Amino acid sequence: MTETPILRGDDLSKSFGVSHVLKNVTLAVPRNSVVGVVGENGAGKSTLFNLLSGILQPDRGHIELDGRTVRFGSYREAMLLGISRVFQEQALIGNIAVYENILLSHEGRFARFGQVLDRRHMAKVAQRIVDAFGLDIDVRRRTDDYDFSIRQSIEIARACLVPREVLGVESPVVLLDEPTSALAKSEEEALFRMIRNTREHGSVLFVSHRLSEVLSVSDIIYVIKDGHIVANVDPKQADQNALHRLMVGRERDADYYHEGEQIDVSGHPELLEVRGLRFKGAYDGITFNIRAGEVVGIGGLLDSGKSALGKGVAGVIPPHAGTVALDGSRPQRPQLRRLIAEGLAYVPAERLREGIIASFSIATNISLASGGDLFSTPYGVWRTAAEHDVSSKYIRDLEIRGATLPEVPCAELSGGNQQKVALAKWLCRSPRVLVLDNPTRGVDAGAKEEIYQLIRDLATDGAAILLITDELLELIGLSNRIAIMRHGRIIAALAAPPNQKPTEHELVGLMTGT
């Protein structure tokens, strides 16, 4: 590489207490390139991004931007010099307008006489940005009026276009941390178009657990393992199995979804019975059952209503009509507290908004759903020792990396390990019915395989599982039966025995109506 890279990290190291998260990491981002970064959850990818974007300071090493050594005191300093970022978890303010989120911290550029905001001009600039990304939205609307996928696209548009359109940076560097984890197919295509466009005048550093995406879009791929760069890969000379081996230290299991462990549930008792669920504007006329040991998958486009259905079945957002019954209990309108007491668990798709409280410890998060019974006496005395012991058990059993003690805050864990905590919160209750909404979103290939094995083990032990997922191969590989939703209704149900799985092509045709 003869030309000076636009961004370079040299010998970067970072520790938190006795935990060495990054060790002597050196990488370079050439001009007008897309550089992929892959690694297991906890490998150090997000910490590396935190250093490059000024959120954290390295303990050792330095950063060069366009050949000059820089030391960012904050994310804002990095952003003003042209380094922008999409975070793994969304960083938008829900109760303000979209245009205010897109131009947040840049309001001074739209102030007249230094005091009066020209909101009309702000909205015009923000609308131009989302239009360039291909989003058909009104930037004057409240951000939370849009679903998770659209909000993700807004963040990506902001990171890719604000440096050039608002700050006037000629060669920006965009850091994308798991940008596609919640995007619809059309929005993924818009993202990859934007990445190609950004490459014409800037550079992109791209983290994703979807190895096929990294291979298809990157010019160079760095592999991080245990805080070290262990390989610098030419994507033209590699495949997914090679990346997986470098990341995890072993070949990917040929039976990745453990289909050979899928059990025949004919004759097993029904543990979950759903009848006539309806929530106006989201889903209507939903009826199905799940037997002990069975995994029923729900697939559909992001606007199909499948995630809303999961919340309805669990009673998180009670439906307007319909009933749910567990293990022969009296059918009733679903109510979360009652269903938890009867043995239901619900793992949401948005773990930081609904699954865990990041500032709380691992132990506190694991006990969140069980304070009224498992972790307190009948007299209301908290069972601290039990909380510590149970949390320690799940740290070991689920291999929650980065957790030296149950008292470690969840904010210090990687996204995949936070997801394991969200699962442990319910597993400690030994649930008979689990509603899982995208349980592997933002989780690396190695941790996905561990979660898939966990789902198989739960089914083998007799649990009934409702699996809602955007991942087609996950849906096909794990499910005994698959229900496809379109416009709030189940329009098809398919058997998915181990040796006769439906194809992706079949499912996509049903989802899109083509």
Same domain, 16 and 143: yes
Same domain, 299 and 399: no
At residue 97 the predicted structure's pLDDT band, cuts being 50, 70 and 90, is: very high
- 259 within a domain of the structure (yes/no): no
- 453 within a domain of the structure (yes/no): no
Same domain, 372 and 316: no
Same domain, 237 and 226: yes
Same domain, 422 and 437: no
- Identify the weakest region by mean pLDDT among 103-107, 109-113, 332-336: 109-113
Last residue of a domain, one of 186, 218, 248: 248
Q: What is the tens place of the pLDDT at every residue in 448-476?
A: 888 999 999 999 999 999 999 988 889 99
Same domain, 39 and 124: yes
Q: What residue type is assigned to position 133 of the chain?
A: F
Q: What is the tens place of the pLDDT at every residue in 398-431?
A: 988 877 889 999 988 887 889 999 999 999 999 9
- 393 within a domain of the structure (yes/no): yes
DSSP string, 168-187: --SS-EEEEESTTTT--HHH
What is the CATH classification number for the domain harbouring 300? Answer: 3.40.50.300
| Residue 247, pLDDT score | 84
**Under a CB-based contact definition with an 8 Å cutoff, are residues 420 and 398 in contact?**
yes
- 351 within a domain of the structure (yes/no): no
Same domain, 116 and 229: yes
Beta strands 433-437 and 464-468 are parallel
- 330 within a domain of the structure (yes/no): yes
Last residue of a domain, one of 215, 248, 281: 248
CA–CA gap between residue 316 and residue 336 (Å, rounded): 6
Same domain, 58 and 18: yes
Residue range(s) defining the domain that contains residue 279 = 269-343+432-443+463-514
Same domain, 212 and 315: no
Tell me which residue has tokens 């668990």.
345
Last residue of a domain, one of 248, 280, 297: 248
At residue 1 the predicted structure's pLDDT band, cuts being 50, 70 and 90, is: very low
Beta-carbon contacts of 180 under 8 Å, excluding residues fewer than 6 positions away, are 188, 191, 208, 210, 213
- 505 within a domain of the structure (yes/no): yes
Same domain, 202 and 244: yes
- 458 within a domain of the structure (yes/no): no
Q: What is the tens place of the pLDDT at every residue in 202-238?
A: 899 988 878 888 898 899 999 998 889 999 999 999 8
Q: What is the tens place of the pLDDT at every residue in 20-69?
A: 889 999 999 999 999 999 988 778 888 999 999 999 999 999 999 999 99
Q: What is the 3-state secondary structure (H, E, C) of 352-403?
A: HHHHCCCCCEHHHHHCHHHCCCCCECCCCCECHHHHHHHHHHHHHHCCCCCC
**Under a CB-based contact definition with an 8 Å cutoff, are residues 159 and 136 in contact?**
no
Same domain, 188 and 169: yes
Looking at the structure of the chain, the number of domains it has is 3
Same domain, 418 and 298: no
Q: What is the pTM of this model?
A: 0.70
- 350 within a domain of the structure (yes/no): no
